[in-house]
Amino acid sequence: MSLQVVLRAGRAVRGRLPLSSVCHGARAVHGAALRSTGRRSLLVAAGAAVTAGLVAGYGHLQRADMASVDHGEDLDRRVAAFMAPPVTELERLRRSGGDMKTRMELLIMETQAEVCRALEEADGGAGFTVDRWQRTEGGGGVSCVLQDGNVFEKAGVNVSVVYGYLSEESIQQMRSRGKDLKTKDGKLPFCAMGVSSVIHPKNPHVPTIHFNYRYFEIEEADGNKQWWFGGGTDLTPTYLNLEDVVHFHQTLREACDQHNPGFYPKFKKWCDDYFFIKHRGERRGVGGIFFDDLDSLSKDKLFQFVKSCAKAVVPCYVPIVNKHKNDSFSPEEKMWQQLRRGRYVEFNLVYDRGTKFGLATPGSRIESILMSLPLTARWEYMHVPPPESREAEILNVLREPKDWVH
Amino acid sequence: MSLQVVLRAGRAVRGRLPLSSVCHGARAVHGAALRSTGRRSLLVAAGAAVTAGLVAGYGHLQRADMASVDHGEDLDRRVAAFMAPPVTELERLRRSGGDMKTRMELLIMETQAEVCRALEEADGGAGFTVDRWQRTEGGGGVSCVLQDGNVFEKAGVNVSVVYGYLSEESIQQMRSRGKDLKTKDGKLPFCAMGVSSVIHPKNPHVPTIHFNYRYFEIEEADGNKQWWFGGGTDLTPTYLNLEDVVHFHQTLREACDQHNPGFYPKFKKWCDDYFFIKHRGERRGVGGIFFDDLDSLSKDKLFQFVKSCAKAVVPCYVPIVNKHKNDSFSPEEKMWQQLRRGRYVEFNLVYDRGTKFGLATPGSRIESILMSLPLTARWEYMHVPPPESREAEILNVLREPKDWVH
């Protein structure tokens, strides 16, 4: 596993970092940050790379330098609002404003900042810790984690932008999904980026949310470029609150319907199928949307769709948080939440593709991959809630997914 | 998944069950138990079969009926001490006293009872709940679980005796370990049995223990029978106590040395290699012994070795429990225990072969497989103990295994 210097600092530090030096490497940054701010920051030696299934080597997928002359000031303004400087050098982003990789990197950084700020406001106490890390093999990321807040037990919002050559395992996995990939000497240069998040609240009446939006480019041996989008947003409540679930699905449906009326029903079902804990015969939660390998429309149209989904994260979730964050709850309700957290761990460690490939991949940043796990979880032998109880009510829904909006 | 009627009852119920009816099927037993005892017992519909990687069909591996005339009274005496009646009918066990399957079934039932009784005594409060279950495809098991006792947070000791045809996945896995297996129409009749246990105490100064001893028989297409033993015992402390670890390894070493001076060093290393959490670069604990596919000596010699290992479980562990069960501990020490429990979950769900195959296998009894998970666990982002701390001390040992006895 390659070791990298990682900058870890409170969010307040970030705004003071000289962007130009940050974008040239974390080592330089760290020194600069320490000297220029004098605030608490921490050097951590850690492996890098969150996107799963990647191995060594710098790829050929250089950003197309399509200059966008009127892009300068707007870019500075956008970047200033991020939780940390973007992974790609600012000058390169400036020169390639029309390239999808640039547009997507800015979108995922922006989504990270929007979600983190909205959660900090809802929490009213704790702030996100920001870790900016680099991956020797190419790229890096920004991990934002809030732990033990007023409202949130553990909230992680992670961005990664990585490139290099795909691992054998990833190539096989993509082929098994039906992709026709022409390699050269077994190699496939790629670029992958995404924002990925899991938010575990303290109160059992506030549900857990997960979302992830990602973009892939692959360059085949004959120069052909493949690309696709993937992603989704899904909700995992401890107890069923019909109004909340309908609001959540309705907000996602509206985001989808702007682009294609077939998207929501298709991606809703995909979500129910994907988040299935087979050995329990239960879904992880009440679903949402999930999609992968999306390349059937133009890049721009699909980007606009993904952007709508990303923009829907805060409105589909934060109102539910605010509605329930002060609800009273019993020790029994907290315990049921902890048992459901155990199932969350089971799904993530046993089935989740990203987690599995991440763990199997040398050079992965394990702490970023496993930040999806809850702060605490519980397993009881033969726990069966009484029929007609509120615990049995949510179990029924997890066993037989419903249509929440029509 | 096939549904089975399962008898769940307090241990006190067991002694009153009419053995002859029990051994002819759990349905009959349940009625008998309810009527004859009137105590709390519970019908649970659940899939059956703990041993991983098994599928439908009754196998050809009938117990060789080697009568053992002077075996009668002795057998009754042994069986009366078990936590529940054995899986195989008593009459059949009586008729086949010299067969290895009979000898092993009696050993694992006996080990289960010895360990459960010793743990109940050490706990001084809670007793084991006993679930006796059957598997439609062939065989069954006895799961004993103690939860939320004085000393133990969660303790499971499970016996399973299953037969039928091996799954494709199991055949492939065995071949990948180097076994040459001749199938007939792709089928391989097998019989597998074992005792498997994980004990999680409450006090962070009392370590977790795991042990598992198992016996396999396979009948190839040409009538050739393959057999082997597998197993091991390993310790997972939250904090390093040198005296405890030396006692544990020394007891295992003595059990091994009675049979072959090469066993302990070989199986100690195998254990360190097997219980490796690759993505963390850490072992799960301070090791012990682990072995598989053991068939290089006579059946009887290896059985005697496995018996010594099984008999060593109580003396290698219970003195450590009694020594530390009343130790005082701080909230910080309890929290470090919970973080280590998180790593235990990671190993079991991501790497453990038995768990993985069990979860992937239709008809498995999930509650018995996952009883190995702790009652509670914790994951913190970027938790790094201070150097020179007691937390860092055990981490160093988990990263670089030591030789504890010479």
Section A318-336 average pLDDT? 98
Q: Where are the alpha helices (DSSP H) in A258-388?
A: 263-274, 299-311, 313-324, 331-346, 353-360, 366-369
Do residues B362 and B296 touch, judged by C-beta distance below 8 A? no
Do residues B401 and B284 touch, judged by C-beta distance below 8 A? no
Distance from CA of B371 to the nearest CA of A (A): 6
- Region of residue A74 (left: phi > 0; alpha: psi -120 to 50; beta: else): alpha
Which residues of chain B does A376 touch, with a Cβ-Cβ cutoff of 8 Å? 338, 376-378
- Per the DSSP assignment, residues forming a β-bridge with A187 are A184
pLDDT of residue A360: 73
Query: Binning pLDDT at 50, 70 and 90, where does residue A33 land?
Result: very low
Half-sphere exposure of B153 (CA within 13 A, CB side): 24
Q: Which of B377, B380, B384 sits opposite A147 (nearest CB)?
A: B380
Which residues of chain A does B384 touch, with a Cβ-Cβ cutoff of 8 Å? 44
Cα nearest neighbour of B131 on chain A: A382
pLDDT of residue A62: 55
Nearest to B314 by CA among B112, B158, B115: B115
Of the listed ranges A56-70, A102-116, A315-329, A337-351, the one predicted with least confidence: A56-70
Query: Binning pLDDT at 50, 70 and 90, where does residue A26 land?
Result: very low
pLDDT at A363 over 80: no
pLDDT of residue A61: 55
Distance from CA of A44 to the nearest CA of B (A): 9
Do residues B84 and B132 touch, judged by C-beta distance below 8 A? yes
Q: Cβ–Cβ of B147/A381 closer than 8 Å?
A: yes
d(CA A352, CA A345): 10
Which residues of chain B does A384 touch, with a Cβ-Cβ cutoff of 8 Å? 44
Q: Cβ–Cβ of B374/A379 closer than 8 Å?
A: yes
Do residues A195 and A157 touch, judged by C-beta distance below 8 A? yes
Q: Which of A364, A375, A381 sits opposite B380 (nearest CB)?
A: A375
**DSSP class per residue in A268-284:** HHHHHHHSEETTTTEES
Report yes or no: A399 at the B interface, CB cutoff 8 Å.
no
Higher-confidence position of A56 and A82: A82
- Given CA atoms A390, A396, A399, A401 in this order, what sign does their dihedral have? negative
Q: Cβ–Cβ of A154/B379 closer than 8 Å?
A: yes
Query: Binning pLDDT at 50, 70 and 90, where does residue A1 land?
Result: very low
Query: Binning pLDDT at 50, 70 and 90, where does residue A28 land?
Result: very low
Report yes or no: A385 at the B interface, CB cutoff 8 Å.
no
Q: Cβ–Cβ of B376/A377 closer than 8 Å?
A: yes
Q: Cβ–Cβ of A359/B281 closer than 8 Å?
A: no
Q: Which of A147, A356, A360 sits opposite B381 (nearest CB)?
A: A147
pLDDT of residue A63: 59
Of the listed ranges A5-9, A243-247, A396-400, B116-120, the one predicted with least confidence: A5-9
Report yes or no: A43 at the B interface, CB cutoff 8 Å.
no
Query: Binning pLDDT at 50, 70 and 90, where does residue A127 land?
Result: very high
Distance from CA of B343 to the nearest CA of A (A): 11
Q: Cβ–Cβ of B382/A44 closer than 8 Å?
A: yes
Nearest to A361 by CA among A229, A169, A180, A222: A169
pLDDT at A36 over 90: no
Q: CA angle, B261 as apex, B255 and B263 as ends, to 5°? A: 70
Report yes or no: B45 at the A interface, CB cutoff 8 Å.
no
pLDDT of residue A72: 64
d(CA B370, CA B345): 10
Report yes or no: B382 at the A interface, CB cutoff 8 Å.
yes
Higher-confidence position of A335 and B13: A335
pLDDT of residue B260: 96
pLDDT of residue A285: 98
Encoded amino acid at B109, one letter: M
pLDDT of residue A362: 66
Section A309-321 average pLDDT? 98
Report yes or no: B349 at the A interface, CB cutoff 8 Å.
yes
Cα nearest neighbour of A368 on chain B: B381
pLDDT of residue A150: 97
A254-280: pLDDT as tens digits: 999 999 999 999 999 999 999 999 999
Ranges of chain B whose pLDDT falls below 70: 1-72, 361-362
d(CA A99, CA A103): 6
Bridge-based pairing of strands A139-147 and B189-201 is unpaired
Judged by DSSP in three states, A338 sits in helix
Q: Where are the alpha helices (DSSP H) in A177-312?
A: 242-257, 263-274, 299-311
Q: Cβ–Cβ of A279/B154 closer than 8 Å?
A: no
Q: Above pLDDT 70, what percent of chain A? A: 82
pLDDT of residue A71: 55
Which residues of chain B does A208 touch, with a Cβ-Cβ cutoff of 8 Å? none
Report yes or no: B370 at the A interface, CB cutoff 8 Å.
yes
d(CA B259, CA B274): 23
Distance from CA of B405 to the nearest CA of A (A): 32
Do residues B200 and B374 touch, judged by C-beta distance below 8 A? yes
Which residues of chain A does B353 touch, with a Cβ-Cβ cutoff of 8 Å? none
Interface of A with B in 71-130 (CB under 8 A): 129
d(CA B49, CA B6): 12
Higher-confidence position of A51 and B186: B186
Q: Cβ–Cβ of B375/A370 closer than 8 Å?
A: no
Q: Average pLDDT over chain A, rounded to whole? A: 83
Q: Cβ–Cβ of A279/B44 closer than 8 Å?
A: no
In a mutagenesis test of the B interface, which of A43, A368, A379, A383 is the best target, namely the one with the most B β-carbons within 10 Å? A379
A210-236: pLDDT as tens digits: 999 999 999 888 888 999 999 999 999
Query: Binning pLDDT at 50, 70 and 90, where does residue A365 land?
Result: confident
Which residues of chain A does B280 touch, with a Cβ-Cβ cutoff of 8 Å? 366
| Residues of A forming the active site | 210
Report yes or no: A1 at the B interface, CB cutoff 8 Å.
yes
Distance from CA of A294 to the nearest CA of B (A): 29
Residue A12 phi, psi dihedral angles, 5° rounding: -60, -30
Task: Kindly report the three-state secondary structure assignment for every residue of chain B.
Answer: CCCEEEEEEEHHHHCCCCHHHHCCCHHHHHHHHHHHHCCCEEEEEECCCCCCCEECCCCCCCCCCCCCHHHHHHHHHHHHCCCCCCCCCHHHHHHCCCCHHHHHHHHHHHHHHHHHHHHHHHHCCCCCEEEEEECCCCEEEEEEEEECCCCEEEEEEEEEEEEEEECHHHHHHHHHCCCCCCCECCECEEEEEEEEEEEEECCCCCCEEEEEEEEEEEECCCCCEEEEEEEEEEEECCCCCHHHHHHHHHHHHHHHHCCCCCHHHHHHHHHHHHCEEHHHCEECCCEEEEEEEECCCCHHHHHHHHHHHHHCHHHHHHHHHHHHCCCCCCHHHHHHHHHHHHHHHHHHHHHCHHHHHHHHCCCCCHHHHHHHCCCEEECCCCCCCCCCCHHHHHHHHHHCCCCCCC
Q: Which one-letter DSSP state was computed for residue A351?
A: I
d(CA B214, CA B72): 25
Q: Which of B44, B356, B380 sits opposite A382 (nearest CB)?
A: B44
The distance of Cα B230 from the centroid of its chain, to the nearest Å, equals 11
Distance from CA of B303 to the nearest CA of A (A): 32
Q: Which of A8, A366, A377 sits opposite B377 (nearest CB)?
A: A377
Which residues of chain B does A374 touch, with a Cβ-Cβ cutoff of 8 Å? 379
Distance from CA of B368 to the nearest CA of A (A): 8
The distance of Cα B307 from the centroid of its chain, to the nearest Å, equals 14
pLDDT of residue B300: 97
Total CB pairs under 8 A between chain A and B: 88
Based on the number of CB atoms within 10 Å of its own CB, is A293 exposed (0-12), middle (13-18) or buried (19 or more)? Answer: middle
d(CA A19, CA A79): 10
pLDDT at A31 over 90: no
A152-195: pLDDT as tens digits: 999 999 999 988 888 787 788 788 888 888 887 788 889 999 99
